[in-house]
Chain A
Amino acid sequence: MTRVAVTGLGIISPFGRGHDAALAALRSGRSGIRLITSFDTSELQCKIGGQVPAEAHEGQQRGFDRFTRLGLIAAEDAARQANYAAIDVEPDRIGVLVGTGMGGCETLDASYRRIYKESLTRVAPTTIAYSMYNAATSAISTKYQAKGVSYAVVSACSSSAHAIGLAYQAIASGQADAMIAGGADAPLTFGSFRAWESMRVLAIDNEHPERACRPFSADRKGLVLAEGAAVFVLESFDHALRRKQPIIGEIVGFGATSDAGHITDPSIDGAARAMRMALRDAGTIDYINAHGTATQANDVTETKAIKEVFGEKAHAIPVSSTKSMHGHAMGASGAIEMACSLLALNAGFLPPTINLDSPDPACDLDYVPNQAREARAGVFLSNSFGFGGMNAVVAVRTAVAADLLT
């Protein structure tokens, strides 16, 4: 099987745009959750979210839906780092896989508002093209003239983890030589908030937004909706070495399972099987970036699943939820979390789980509470467990691992 190198990483999140913005927040344990300003929340109970700061993206991309614009920005940064123009293979040997959980929310919200609230009869002719789930994939494929295997990947909160895993398999199996893969989601809209409020899983703390998301904590109240995108350039190891492109990581395993259980209640078994499948190729690991949504159901279930897979060793593996800082960017979260993990671990530290002052007794692992920790980690798992019971786990070797330094 062909080995798969990571040569480019782009991230735009509530931390801002780029590696430095993300690293600074992860190292200092600073939350990106704040009062939402991108739309009017005055009628909503929940007025907080992981909003991408306006100055990080506004005016930088024209047209499209917000999720596609964020995806394009992340792709641009990944392509720059990977020196994409120097990838010397036929365009049909490069594909694009972008995961999204909720697609063009901004576009649909605007059109529904016209039809149902303003009683207008027509909506923008771009409504279909901008709201479709593969719009970001299409825009990135066009911009980078990637003409190989390309589609959108949709599995709720696991979407981008599936996209990265499938891109890894496309290169490993010889279907492509390079892939642009990741996720983008922009669900901070009025309609989407109404729907999430109705599920009663949002952490609502409008007075202290940065304290709202408390994964693994006894007093956790639920998830905080967020937006953002992270995109990677993946290519065959040999190709990266031949063109002397610095390798910043290696995808070493992918597990994907379905609970075949309940549409919203997570299962220990489905999560555990996905982790085992990723480990089959990866071997031992040094860190887990948890799905860690801070809902009642996820955090206990995920903890039990980790213990089921690793047994007594589970307590020796640091596990953190960076969602405590960037919130839950739905289908983009797997890619954002893999990006946060790779950036932090390559910089020599484990990102913390913030707001963890009183752990839930049922959550008894080492969650790297509140403060980043210096560490050398060679391989990590990035867990994503989506509604619908769709689980995706990606195993990544960091640049700290010796065989990447050569």
Chain B
Amino acid sequence: MTRSEIEQKLIDIVRQEKHDLPDEKLTPQTTFADAGIDSLDALTILFAIEENFKISIPDDRARAMKTLGDMIDAVEALLPSVT
């Protein structure tokens, strides 16, 4: 799975949790605060990511995340078969 495929899938997941987010807010640079993603939203999104990608994100890594890009990085690092 390429990075842009991961990004697209991640955006789909975020959109499921936060229906009202405009497209311009859905970029790797967007911080959770900018996107109106509170701590419980972020946990729910991480949970959906883990289910979707069948990975397990360690707590330390999860706590350090500030942007959607951080989530993409984590998925990329943890996916067993990234090309």
Interface hit among B26-34, B44-52, B75-83:
B44-52
Residue B21 CB within 8 A of the other chain: no
Contact of A126 among B44, B50, B51 (CB under 8 A): B44
Residue A122 CB within 8 A of the other chain: yes
A124 to B43, CA, bound (A): 9
Interchain CB contact under 8 A, A124 and B47: yes
Residue of B nearest to A121 (CB): B56
Interchain CB contact under 8 A, B50 and A124: no
Interchain CB contact under 8 A, A122 and B50: yes
Interchain CB contact under 8 A, B40 and A129: yes
Residue A125 CB within 8 A of the other chain: yes
B residues in contact with A122, CB < 8 Å? 47, 50-51
B residues in contact with A129, CB < 8 Å? 40
A125 to B50, CA, bound (A): 12
Query: Interface readout for A88-131 with B: 1 if CB under 8 Å, 0 if not?
Result: 00000000000000000000000000000000001011100100
Residue of A nearest to B45 (CB): A125
Q: How many residues of A contact B (CB 8 A)?
A: 5
Least distance between B9 CB and chain A CB atoms (Å): 19
Least distance between A168 CB and chain B CB atoms (Å): 34
A129 to B47, CA, bound (A): 15
Least distance between A231 CB and chain B CB atoms (Å): 24
Residue of A nearest to B17 (CB): A63
Which B residues from 1 to 57 make CB contacts under 8 A with A? 40, 43-44, 46-47, 50-51
B residues in contact with A125, CB < 8 Å? 40, 43-44, 46-47
B residues in contact with A124, CB < 8 Å? 44, 47
Least distance between A107 CB and chain B CB atoms (Å): 13
A122 to B43, CA, bound (A): 12
Residue of B nearest to A123 (CB): B47
A residues in contact with B51, CB < 8 Å? 122
A87 to B63, CA, bound (A): 42
A122 to B50, CA, bound (A): 9
A122 to B46, CA, bound (A): 12
A122 to B44, CA, bound (A): 12
A125 to B40, CA, bound (A): 7
B residues in contact with A126, CB < 8 Å? 40, 43-44
Query: Interface readout for A339-378 with B: 1 if CB under 8 Å, 0 if not?
Result: 0000000000000000000000000000000000000000
A residues in contact with B50, CB < 8 Å? 122
User: Which residue among A122, A125, A129 has the maximum number of chain B CB atoms within 10 Å of its CB?
Assistant: A125
A126 to B51, CA, bound (A): 15
Least distance between B63 CB and chain A CB atoms (Å): 13
A125 to B59, CA, bound (A): 13
A126 to B43, CA, bound (A): 8
Least distance between B16 CB and chain A CB atoms (Å): 12
A126 to B44, CA, bound (A): 7
A126 to B42, CA, bound (A): 11
A residues in contact with B44, CB < 8 Å? 124-126
Least distance between A121 CB and chain B CB atoms (Å): 9
Least distance between A96 CB and chain B CB atoms (Å): 20
Residue of B nearest to A128 (CB): B40
A368 to B43, CA, bound (A): 53
Least distance between B58 CB and chain A CB atoms (Å): 13
A124 to B40, CA, bound (A): 10
B residues contacting A by CB (< 8 A) are: 40, 43-44, 46-47, 50-51
Given contacts A122-B51, A125-B40, A125-B47, 11 further A-B contacts (CB under 8 A): A122-B47, A122-B50, A124-B44, A124-B47, A125-B43, A125-B44, A125-B46, A126-B40, A126-B43, A126-B44, A129-B40
Name 14 A/B residue pairs within 8 A (Cβ), A-sorted.
Answer: A122-B47, A122-B50, A122-B51, A124-B44, A124-B47, A125-B40, A125-B43, A125-B44, A125-B46, A125-B47, A126-B40, A126-B43, A126-B44, A129-B40
